[in-house]
Amino acid sequence: MKDTPIEISAHRSINAIDPADWDACACPEATNGRPDDPFTTHRFLKALEDSKSVGPGSGWQPQYLTASKDGQMIAVAPLYAKGHSQGEYIFDHNWAHAYENAGGRYYPKLQIAVPFTPATGRRFLTLPGYEVTGMSALIQGAVEIAANNQISSLHATFCTEAERVAGVQMGLMPRTTQQFHWLNDGYGGFDEFLEGLSSRKRKNIRKERRQAQEFGGDLHVLTGSDLRPHHWDAFWNFCQDTGARKCGTPYLTRRLFEPAH
């Protein structure tokens, strides 16, 4: 008996994909609790799209990939056609300049990523048991889309180490970047952490903490339903101010933070 072929489809809206089908691949562990990675859930990607943080005019045009076999969705990927290299936290401007100086057209490019989220996680989301078959199908589908539309390149960013290795075995070219993460090296308290630093660094940190503690207000920790519209309004204003100071534009729209999302 012949093996059933896998059907690859691209969707211009996450709303065209059943949330249960998507999340069965993205976060199968969430049936008994919270997802390990909220950023690849149907709900999060839908919020980005519905709030117009991605979509027309944003430079992030959804092309969500799905792979189905025997009528069952076995793999999905958050794929976007990118009109620029912003919001990725992986900078390839030099590649773009070199490609265009050589007479090519770098944009649009295809990007498998979670928009505006420099957090490592699975990018080739497969139903349990279809890890190899599903990822292979998604890569072949994305490469075919790029070839058929004469798109310069396909990128997958902030993927897992296992996906990187598998991608190389499938013919993709790896690239290495770096991030800086703070890890608690068994410190019993903040003072113990400071003792591991140089005298100059300890002095600067203590000075900054004194300034923060003397700001003249109170600190409150709010989570979940404690957050009200005026809190999000303040957060939004802070984002806008930070973007203006950094000569940039905040990517997320105010609507993203509405309670419905």
Rounded to an integer, what distance in angstroms lies between the CA atom of residue 27 and that of residue 126?
Answer: 9
Say if residues 159 and 90 touch (Cβ distance below 8 Å). no
Strand pairing category for 7-11 and 79-82: unpaired
Q: Which helix (H) or strand (E) element contains residue 74?
A: strand 72-77
What dihedral do alpha carbons 230, 250, 53, 256 form, nearest 10°?
-20
Give 156's strand partners.
Answer: 112
Q: What is the pLDDT of residues 11-28, one digit of tens each?
A: 999 999 999 999 999 999
Do 90 and 119 meet the contact criterion of CB atoms below 8 Å apart?
Answer: no
The residues, any chain, with a CB within 8 Å of residue 237's CB and separated by 6 or more, are none
Q: What is the DSSP letter of 247?
A: T
Q: Comparing 117-126, 193-202, 231-240, 251-260, which segment has the lowest mean pLDDT? A: 251-260
What tokens were used for 23? Answer: 């999340």
8 Å CB contact between 92 and 85: yes
What is the rounded distance in angstroms from the CA atom of residue 125 to the CA atom of residue 122?
6
Q: Dihedral of the CA atoms 215, 217, 218, 223 (nearest 10)?
A: -90
Cis peptide before 108 (omega within 30 of 0): yes
Asked if 137 and 147 touch (Cβ cutoff 8 Å), the reply is no
Rounded mean pLDDT, 223-245: 89
Percent of the chain with pLDDT over 70: 97
Model confidence band, residue 1 (pLDDT cutoffs 50, 70, 90): very low
Is pLDDT of 247 > 80? no
pTM: 0.88
Provide the pLDDT for residue 17: 98
Residue 31 has pLDDT above 80, yes or no: no
Coil vs helix vs strand at 72? strand
